[in-house]
Amino acid sequence: MYLSKRINGYYYIYYKDKYGKHQGISTKSKLKSDALEFLTNFKSELKKKEHQKVIPILLDAFRKEFLKHSEAIHSPKTTKTFITTFRYLQEFLGNISLAEIKEKDIKAYIDNRITSASVYQARKDLINLSSCFNWSISEGYILTNPCKNVPKVKVPQKMPVFFSRKEFNKLLEVIDNQDLKDLITFAVNTGCRQMELLTAEWNQVNFEQSLLILDNHNHVTKSKKIRSIPLNKTAVEVLLRRKELNSYNQNIFIHKGRALIPKRVQNNFRIYIKVAGLNPKLNFHSLRHTFASWLVQMGVSIYEVSKLLGHSNIKTTEIYSHLRTEDLMKSVNLLNN
């Protein structure tokens, strides 16, 4: 192990890991005194890791443990994605010891998923595995996350599919189920996700301030944060109609006195899309895209739309920025002068 100054002025530590592989790490300092202090601390940490023991566990046993943990903290939908990731990882690596899984194994697996499935699935798998291995470190099964230095999977940006005003009205015309019609109308006017709506209860509604409070009590939001959804006149009218018909049930959106089942809602939605002769790629989530797209087209800023959608990062919302062509046209037309 030795200290060396690079051409950029920063000191780096060079050493061999326990597998004999040459490694380098930046001290993030241009001062030798600071670099030497970093070196001393690094040696201490390295010795600590060498003497640290891990609990041996096979991949299949770890899968069962992690899925129990996932069921306790994640939604059923999220846990289902972990089940899929583990299934394909075990098919690729076999039931090996968790501590034997290295960075090269993860890279090979991700490359395989890109070719055998898709970049979208590979990206999801890498995110899931990184989360799994971080948890396994806290449980004492491994010392380092093999996903840490695996490059992120870049996916091509997809245009969001959304309804035009004419298409949306056409959809409402063919729906003969008032409960579903109310749900769809409310969704396109609030931008809420399907499960946020299906689990919404009357105690989350503030009629005085025209707000729906997503408080994580009935359903944990994707960002895990509490959100206040402002309700426009149309959304309030839907709630008042629901309240009049459904004052006895705590759920806002029900059918024949029972809670709506997500899969059934999706299936019925697809049927009505087909009856209306609309794009079969339109699904329930397209209502959320429609909410955002209509707002952007009417001049609402990407920042405000991001807040309304509850996105934790405005980059997620920037997919709708292509709809602001009018602003861009004004800009290039300045050159005419």
* pLDDT value of residue 7: 87
Q: Which two tokens stand for residue 252?
A: 């806002």
* pLDDT value of residue 335: 80
Burial class (CB in 10 A: 0-12, 13-18, 19+), 89: buried
* pLDDT value of residue 223: 56
CA-based radius of gyration for the chain: 26
Cα dihedral: 270, 274, 275, 276 (round 10):
100
pLDDT tens digits, one per residue of 320-335: 887 766 666 776 777 8
Q: How far is CA 133 from CA 59, 141, 153, 294, in A?
A: 11, 9, 18, 41
* pLDDT value of residue 221: 58
* pLDDT value of residue 322: 78
pLDDT beneath 70: ranges in the chain: 18-20, 48-52, 216-224, 247, 324-328, 331, 337
Q: What is the pTM for the complete model shown?
A: 0.67
Strand partners, 254: 259
Q: Which are the contacts of 311, defined by CB distance < 8 A and separation ≥ 6?
A: 223, 317
d(CA 201, CA 248): 11
d(CA 286, CA 283): 5
pLDDT tens digits, one per residue of 18-35: 656 788 889 988 999 998
* pLDDT value of residue 22: 80
